[in-house]
C-alpha cells in the first residue's frame, strides 16, 4: 500500500522529532530527512506536492526549525 500526503508528512516529521530528541544536528536531520520516504513508497503525484517539510523540534539545547527540502526523492 502506498502512502498518501498526510502519511508521508507524518513519517518525515516523526523522523526529525525523534532525531532531535536524540541530539542529532539540524544539518544532519535536514539531509537524512530527505531519505525517509522514496517516490516508490508514495501515491502518484505526492512527491510533486511536497516541496518542503518544516518541523519545529525540541533539541537538547532548545527548539529549532528544521526544513527538509524536496523530502521525497
pLDDT (tens digit per residue) in 16-66 = 999 999 999 999 999 999 999 999 999 999 999 999 999 999 999 999 999
DSSP 5-28: HHHHHHHHHHHHHHHHHTT--HHH
Compute CA 7 distance to the chain's CA centroid, rounded to the nearest angstrom. Answer: 11
Quote the pLDDT of residue 42: 99
Q: What is the CA radius of gyration of the chain?
A: 12
CATH number of the domain residue 22 falls in: 3.30.280.10
**Do 60 and 42 touch, CB atoms closer than 8 A?**
no
What domain range includes position 29?
Answer: 5-69
Quote the pLDDT of residue 2: 99
Domain count, the chain: 1
Amino acid at each position: 500500500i502506498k502512502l498518501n500526503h498526510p502519511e508521508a508528512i507524518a513519517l518525515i516529521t516523526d523522523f526529525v522529532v525523534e532525531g532531535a530528541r536524540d541530539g542529532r544536528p539540524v544539518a544532519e536531520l535536514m539531509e537524512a530527512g530527505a531519505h525517509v520516504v522514496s517516490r516508490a513508497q508514495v501515491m502518484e503525484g505526492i512527491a510533486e506536492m511536497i516541496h518542503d517539510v518544516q518541523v519545529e523540534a525540541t533539541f537538547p539545547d532548545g527548539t529549532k526549525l528544521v526544513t527538509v527540502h524536496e523530502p521525497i526523492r
